[in-house]
Amino acid sequence: MEPPQESAAGGRKRRRRGGARNRRKLSSSSQQAPPSPEAAPPPPSSPPSKRRRKDGTGQATATPKRGNTSSLLDKMRARLSGGHFRMLNEKLYTCSGQDAFDYFKNDPTLFDVYHTGYQEQMSHWPEQPVNVIINWLKSHNTSWTVADFGCGNAAVAKNVKNKVFSIDLVSDDPSVIACDMAHTPLDQSSVDVAIFCLSLMGTNYPSYLEEANRVLKPGGWLVIAEVRSRLDPNNGGADPEKFSKAIIQLGFSLVSKDMKNKMFILFYFRKKEKSKVAKSIDWPQLKACIYKRR
Ligand code: SAH
């Protein structure tokens, strides 16, 4: 399998500024709204101007072409926001969840920048991991309570009948709990499924999984989708076996691993009925996922 190129899939139409910045009270969503549309592409630039004027010599002289100017501006804007997205993306992969939470709390508008860029990148992936997870949930029990850790645009909550706790760093949607997901306000042993879809970003990612372990009921599912290259030892990534082993040591069994997608790997774990956390767990470092410049 060729090493994956990060870029792609996705979708998230992201929230507007000014959302709840602090951790909210528990809330859940079980709406069935259609998935949010993709971020709108930049407006098409107008065709090059054909207007010409005569100068003193009587010769036709081209006026500045407004269409070209605006298309150049569009390109420059796209390039700048792409660069800004990549900077924020790198930041999220190289700081702790708490630092990321504080960072976006100081300027929630940056979160929109991040998610617009993320959506653009994801639109190039042949398959969206979040859709695979949504379909998996749909084929199981609608009475299961779900926690979507790092929910993004809360696509899971919008597309399944289950009760879903959507969790992310910033929210202006009352159904999304804004917090660092290492410390959620969910009760212990209260959910049947914990999802991490491309969201194990912080340097302290094991603490997110520990939190999922806390809130999951015995026998509950832990579903993880991660970017393939982060778990590709031939490419500087972590060994997926070591990653699974660490989660098994946390008290889970690996039920299945889905490697068939080009861009991501899916893991399905279940919390053991009598789970016990190993004294010391050797967590592999997950390398940052750096998206291609487009
Ligand atoms: N799961 C969504 C979004 C993936 S992008 C999807 O598949 O579409 C990763 C998300 O994880 C981002 O929205 C980011 O804000 C969130 N995230 C990363 N670290 C987090 C943390 N410590 N606490 C809460 N959310 C976090």
Task: Assess whether the C-beta atom of 212 lies below 6 angstroms from ligand 1.
Answer: no
C-alpha closest to that of 252 among 274, 237, 281: 274
Residues above pLDDT 90, as percent of the chain: 63
The total number of structural domains that make up the chain: 2
Q: Do 138 and 218 have their domain in common? A: yes
Contact 28, 164 (CB under 8 A): yes
Contact 83, 114 (CB under 8 A): no
Note the pLDDT tens digit of each residue in 179-224.
Answer: 999 999 999 999 999 999 999 999 999 999 999 999 999 999 999 9
**Residue 278 C-alpha to ligand 1 middle, in angstroms?**
27
Q: Do 102 and 209 have their domain in common? A: no
Residue 147 lies in a domain: yes
Q: Do 103 and 237 have their domain in common? A: no
Q: Do 172 and 263 have their domain in common? A: yes
The pLDDT value recorded for residue 294 is: 66
CATH code of the domain covering residue 199: 3.40.50.150
Task: Assess whether the C-beta atom of 195 lies below 6 angstroms from ligand 1.
Answer: no
pTM: 0.79
Contact 178, 22 (CB under 8 A): yes
Residue 155 lies in a domain: yes
Q: Please say if the pLDDT value at position 3 is more than 80.
A: no
**Residue 147 C-alpha to ligand 1 middle, in angstroms?**
12
Amino acid letter, residue 139: S
Q: Which residues contact 57 (CB under 8 A, 6 or more apart)?
A: none
Atom nearest to 10 CA in ligand 1: 8
278 φ/ψ sector (left φ>0, alpha ψ -120 to 50, else beta)? beta
Q: Do 139 and 248 have their domain in common? A: yes
Q: Do 218 and 101 have their domain in common? A: no
Q: Do 118 and 98 have their domain in common? A: yes
Residue 30 lies in a domain: no
Q: Do 207 and 153 have their domain in common? A: yes
What is the C-alpha to C-alpha distance for residues 203 and 199, in angstroms, rounded to an integer? 11
Q: Do 133 and 207 have their domain in common? A: yes
Q: How confident is the model at residue 168 (pLDDT cuts 50, 70, 90)?
A: very high
Residue whose CA is at the smallest distance from ligand 1 atom 22 = 97
CATH code of the domain covering residue 116: 1.10.10.2150
Q: Can you list the pairs that 36-40 forms with residues at least 24 positions away whose Cβ atoms lie under 8 Å?
A: 36/11, 36/12, 36/153, 36/155, 36/158, 37/13, 38/10, 38/11, 38/13, 38/119, 38/123, 39/11, 39/12, 39/13, 39/14, 39/116, 39/119, 39/120
Q: Do 137 and 245 have their domain in common? A: yes
The pLDDT value recorded for residue 8 is: 34
Task: Assess whether the C-beta atom of 117 lies below 6 angstroms from ligand 1.
Answer: no
What is the span of the domain harbouring residue 247? 127-271
Q: For 22-36, 54-68, 144-158, which range has the lowest pLDDT when averaged over its residues? A: 22-36
